Every structure is written in structure tokens, then in C-alpha cells.
Structure 1
């Protein structure tokens, strides 16, 4: 099976390609580095010729509301058009658990818009919604730091290792299109502030983390929106086990 991975040079993309290749598939990275620009369409149609599946794990370089909306809608529209022209039979996209439940976040609104374009395109699809990655714990703390203090709510998260994300995304990619949503997450639930404390302690970062119910997460207040639903598929890797190996 030939699979074109949009964003194939990133954290998840490189891991997914390694997983797919180890199972005998032809997985090709498509990114600006390889001459494929999904925003302008440059090189996109040519890259999809002969592809069975397109997997989109790309991300916006800017998280500003207008920028991220433009990135996900423009990139996705261009991909879907090229897929229809080249006969791609399955579009897979990586999205975020809870995106549709947190409309105050510009980033998550953009992911919802991306999902709608995919659903309405007529191209068979699978949307994999993942929780936050273990690797992003420090970045979350950085984004919530003011005057050297991290302020985050105790709203629940259920983070997951990127290796598990890649494995589960690869499985969805080679499977039949669900024409629906597949949720994945880690095995443990933390408060967001607790997750940040663990991430900072892991790298000996002395910043204080304060639990603040009014602290926003990328522009929105969170409670239980960022955890998988009852039908979610949970990975086995626990945070402490991952931390000990990385």
C-alpha cells in the first residue's frame, strides 16, 4: 500500500512512516522540505499519484486564531481536491480529543473546521482524535507561564506517548475507512496542573505550578473535555514508565 504522509518530517510523521515501512508499506513523507506545499498546492497532486491513502499529521506553524484557521482549512481543501483528482481512496487526519466541545479555543475551532471539510468531501475518511502527547507537557507549562509562575487549571487530561499515537494512527491508516471518528488516549487521567508539574519535575525545572480554576488552556477553560469518551481506545504506556526511558 502506498501512503503519503502530509507532515511526514514531524514528530508523529516520522514515527508513523517508520511503523508503516516496517510493516511493508510504501510510506512517503510530503512536506515543504520534500517540495510539497499544501497551502499553495505546489507539488501536491504529483505527490499523490498512485497513492492509496493520504495521512495528514501536519500542524500550523502559528497558533494565532486566523493563521491556524487558514492553515487547516486551506491545506485540507487542497489535499482533498488533489485526492479526488488522483483517485486516493482513504483520507486519514490526526485531530484532538474534545475539539468540538471547546469552541472558545481558536486552535480547536480550526480543527473542527478541518474535520467538517473532510466529512463533507466525499472522500472515504478516518479522523483520529488524540489526547495531548507526553512530549508536550513542558510546552504546555511554557504557554501558561507568567512572571515565572505556571498557572493551569485542574481540568482533566489523559495524555499519551507519541510512540503510541504513531502506532495507533498507522493501524487506522491501513485499515478500512471508518467514515467517522476514532478516539485515542493514554491510560491515566491527570489534572492539567498536575501534568505540568510532572513534566517540569522530569527536566528539573524549578518553576512553581499553581492550580487556578480560571486559568485558560489555549484560550479556553477546561473541565472533562480533553479526555476520551467511553468508546475511546487507550494505550498502555504510563507517564512514569515513559519518563524513565526518555
Structure 2
């Protein structure tokens, strides 16, 4: 099977490419560094030539609504258009658990992600949306971004994070399966408060700064209810626990 992975050199993309190539598939790692730009369309025709599946794990480098909406709209429309012309039979896109809830909570970035999902679901093309919870690998940046006055002021919400390897595995599985023309949801095996996992990350780094759950805090601009980031009870649960990932990641 020939598969084009858009964002194929990023955190999830590199893992998806490695997994699919390991299974013997012909995989194109498409990214700006390889001469492919889904936003402008540069290199897309060649990257998608002969492809059976598009896997879109690209992301906007901007989290404000206007810039994120511009990126996801242009990129998704280009992938749909070029994919249709190339005869691609399945479009897989990675998104976020609770996108609709996060968009309603005025999270600008998540409004853009919801728009991306709507474009795909209304396109008439065979597709699968993979919803995943937050990645363990992003806890550090969330914590550091929340630092004010020597303490991390994080949103008072619950999270059920996953290892990037587990996210990549389910994306790769979706690429090899039949299109669902719908969404599949995945979450980690443990529920933490965001403050709890932020504190675990700081302690692992031998950083004794305090973590303060902030009931008025936002999550990438969204004001959330405590359970808005959690998947439904029907979600598929990933195997890797936080401590196992932390030890293996070093």
C-alpha cells in the first residue's frame, strides 16, 4: 500500500512513517523539509501520486484562532482537492478528543480544528477521524507555559494522556483499515488532574516549583469544565502508563 503521511517528520508523523514502513508499506514522509507544503500546495501532486491513503498529522504552528483557521482550511482543502485528483481512497486525520466541547468553550485553536473536521466529514470523500487525548510529551510545555511568579498556574481540569508511540500506532492502524466515515476515540489508561501530572513532570526534572490549580485558568485559550478533556467510556484505551513512559523516555 502507498501511503502519504502529511506532517511526516513531526512528533507523531515520524512514528507513523516508521511503523508503516516497518510493515512493508511504501510511505511518503511529506513535510516542508521534504519539499511538500500542504498549506500552499507545493509538492502535493507528486507526494500523492499513486497514494492509496492520506494520513494528515500536520499541525498549525500558531494557536490563535485566525492563523490556525487559515492553516487548517487551506491545508485540508488542498489535501482533499489533490487527493481527489490522485484517486486517493482514504483520508485519515488526527484530531483532539472533545474538539466540539473545546470549540464551544471559545478555544480559538480548537475552533480551527473543528472546522478541519467539518471540511473532511462534509467532503464526500472516504475518511476516518482519529481523536486522541493530550500526549505525555506535551506535559512539559504546558507546565512551562503556565509558569507565573515561580509557580505553574494550570487549569483545574482532568486529563487522560497518551504516549506519542500509542497515538502513532492507532493512526497507523486506521490508515490500514477501511474508512469509517466517522470518528474513533482513544485515551490513555490513567486519569490525572492537570495539576497532578504537571507536578509529576516537575519532580522528575528535580524542579521544586509549585503547581497551583487555577479554576479560572484556560487550556490553550479555552475555559473548560473539569471533564471536558476526557474521552467517552467507549474510547479505546492505550496501554502505556505515565510511569512506564517516563522511565523509558528518560
TM over 0.5: yes
Q: Which residue of 2 aligns with 1:204?
A: 206
SS at match of 1:112: helix
Q: What does the per-residue CA deviation read over 1:35-92, in whole Å, with 9 as the maximum and x for residues that have no partner?
A: 1111111111121010000000011112122111111111011100001111000000
Q: Which residue of 2 aligns with 1:221?
A: 223
Q: Which residue of 2 aligns with 1:49?
A: 49
1:244 pairs, out of 241, 244, 247, with 247
Alignment partners' CA distance in 1, 2:229 and 2:15: 23
Mind listing any 5+ residue stretches in structure 1 that lack a counterpart?
none
SS at match of 2:51: coil
Q: Name which of structure 1's ranges 212-221 and 4-13 shifts more when overlaid on structure 2.
A: 212-221
Q: Which residue of 2 aligns with 1:66?
A: 66
Judge conservation of contact 1:154–1:194 (CA < 8 Å) in 2: no
Q: What does the per-residue CA deviation read over 1:199-232, in whole Å, with 9 as the maximum and x for residues that have no partner?
A: 2222222321101211111111222111111211
Q: Which residue of 2 aligns with 1:2?
A: 2
- Answering whether residue 98 of structure 2 is matched by residue 106 of structure 1, we say no
Q: Which residue of 1 aligns with 2:175?
A: 173
Mind listing any 5+ residue stretches in structure 2 that lack a counterpart?
none
Q: What does the per-residue CA deviation read over 1:87-120, in whole Å, with 9 as the maximum and x for residues that have no partner?
A: 0000000000011102210111111000000001
Alignment partners' CA distance in 2, 1:67 and 1:205: 34
Q: Which residue of 1 aligns with 2:35?
A: 35
TM-score normalised by the chain length of structure 1: 0.97
SS at match of 1:9: coil
Q: How do residues 70-149 of structure 1 correspond to structure 2 at under 5 angstroms?
A: 70-103=70-103, 104-149=106-151
SS at match of 2:4: strand
Alignment partners' CA distance in 1, 2:16 and 2:39: 22
Deviation of 1:13 after TM superposition, in Å, equals 0.4
Q: What does the per-residue CA deviation read over 1:167-225, in whole Å, with 9 as the maximum and x for residues that have no partner?
A: 11100111000000011110000111111111222222232110121111111122211
1:191 pairs, out of 193, 217, 223, with 193
SS at match of 2:95: strand
Q: What does the per-residue CA deviation read over 1:145-181, in whole Å, with 9 as the maximum and x for residues that have no partner?
A: 2223211133111000001111111001110000000
TM-score normalised by the chain length of structure 2: 0.96
Alignment partners' CA distance in 2, 1:62 and 1:113: 15
